[in-house]
Amino acid sequence: MLAVLVVADVALIAAAVASTRPGEQREAGPIPTFSSGPPPEEQQTSTPTPTPTTSPTSTEPSGFLSVVSATEAWRATPGSCTDVAARVERSVDGGATWSAVEVFFDVRTVVALDAGPERVSVLGGVGAACDRQFWASFTGGEFWKEYPAEAGSLGFSDVDGSTVTLRSGTVPSPCASPMRVVSSDGGDAVACEGLVTFRDAAGTWTPLDVPGIIDVTVSDDRYLIARSGADDCAGLAVQSVSIPVTSRSFASPLGCIPDIDPAGDVSLSSSGQVVWVDTGLQTLVSTDGGATW
């Protein structure tokens, strides 16, 4: 019996020694790991995304139009800080065709557009941070330069619609959701749903009920209004309001454009007796102050 036990012990010792030989040891498998987040390398290199400061809201116009002459005008879309950027275009053939204008300063949004015979100006959100900047070109859009001191020279509605910026400064908005802000030497106008509120040099606001108002612009000694639902026009009605505006002022019928659907994105702009209406798909020009098209 003792001999059997001795033999068994010797066998066990020999098996243990054989299992510990380096040449026969199995390679260890990978140790499983568990994580609820990215690897340390990714955590160290990730950076926060900047918060946009001028993303468009429902208070902003559907488009911008600025007339230079009977043949030339500029237009722009509002754009977005985080989605599709604003598009700036120019026409030199009375709106028959529009050409995209390449702006190297990465304009993301447009809040105001102003064009003239010598200069075109764009105010909007620029770059990844979408900071509001004022840029101008004296070469038809070929070269641009920033003019920070002129950022308040154009009228526009602020992001939340609670304030509007005029040439005279920023003031509380006369309505909750401004559709268009016009600021000129002759006065200021803010178009809201169903009415236009005019502001004189003394800072007095005068509201005028305009059911179906779509857009407003200023031309010399009067404001021009584009509206739908007028009794004497089945399409887009163009009306005028003389400057200065008082509590007795009213919108006088001026012209009618039956071929334009007033439910579309309509923009109105004028320069003297030249008036343009643009929908993004169709452009019409009047050379007699908006009476005929």
Q: How confident is the model at residue 38 (pLDDT cuts 50, 70, 90)?
A: very low
Residues 6+ apart with CB under 8 A from 41: none
- pLDDT higher at 25 or 228: 228
Q: Give the C-alpha separation, 236 to 154, whole Å.
A: 27
Q: Which tokens belong to 148? A: 């920070």
Of 207 and 49, the one with more pLDDT = 207
Are 239 and 231 in contact, with CB atoms under 8 Å apart? Answer: no
Q: Which pLDDT belongs to residue 202?
A: 87
- Side chain identity at 50, as an amino acid letter? P
- Interatomic CA distance for residues 56 and 236, integer angstroms: 26
Q: Are 150 and 135 in contact (CB under 8 A)?
A: no
pLDDT at 185: 80
Q: Which region among 16-25, 125-134, 153-162 has the lowest average model confidence (pLDDT)? A: 16-25
Neighbouring CB atoms inside 10 A of 53's CB total 13
- Asked if residue 293 has pLDDT above 60, the reply is yes
Tokens of 29: 């498998």
Its pTM stands at: 0.78
Q: Is residue 52 within 8 Å of residue 82, measured between CB atoms?
A: yes
**DSSP state at residue 271:** E
pLDDT of residue 176: 85
Q: For residues 83-109, give the mean pLDDT.
A: 96
d(CA 182, CA 47): 40
**For residue 286, what pLDDT is reported?**
98
| pLDDT score for 242 | 94
User: Is 2's pLDDT higher than 80?
Assistant: no
In this predicted structure, what is the pLDDT of residue 160?
78
User: What would the mean pLDDT of 256-283 be, rounded to a whole number?
Assistant: 92
Sheet of 64-67, strand order: 64-67, 73-76, 88-91, 99-100
Look at 11-25, 191-205, 209-223, 249-263 and tell me which has the smallest mean pLDDT.
11-25
Q: What is the pLDDT of residue 33?
A: 37
27 pLDDT exceeds 60? no
* Average pLDDT of span 76-101: 97
Beta strands in 21-155 (DSSP E): 64-67, 73-76, 88-91, 99-100, 112-115, 120-126, 131-137, 145-146
Residue 76 pLDDT > 90: yes
The SS3 call for residue 184 is: strand
pLDDT digits (tens, 9 = 90+) for 171-230: 999 998 899 999 988 789 999 999 999 998 889 999 999 999 999 999 888 999 999 999
Mean pLDDT, the chain, integer: 82
Residue 39 CB contacts under 8 Å (≥ 6 apart), including other chains: none
Assess whether pLDDT exceeds 60 at residue 21.
Answer: no
- Percentage of the chain with pLDDT > 90? 68
pLDDT confidence of residue 260 = 87
Q: What is the pLDDT of residue 61?
A: 75
- At residue 60, the pLDDT reads 58
* 29 or 265: which leads in pLDDT: 265
Opening angle at CA 34, ends 32 and 39, nearest 5: 110
- By three-state DSSP, how is residue 249 classified? coil
- 138 touches 94 (CB < 8 A): no
274 vs 11, more confident: 274
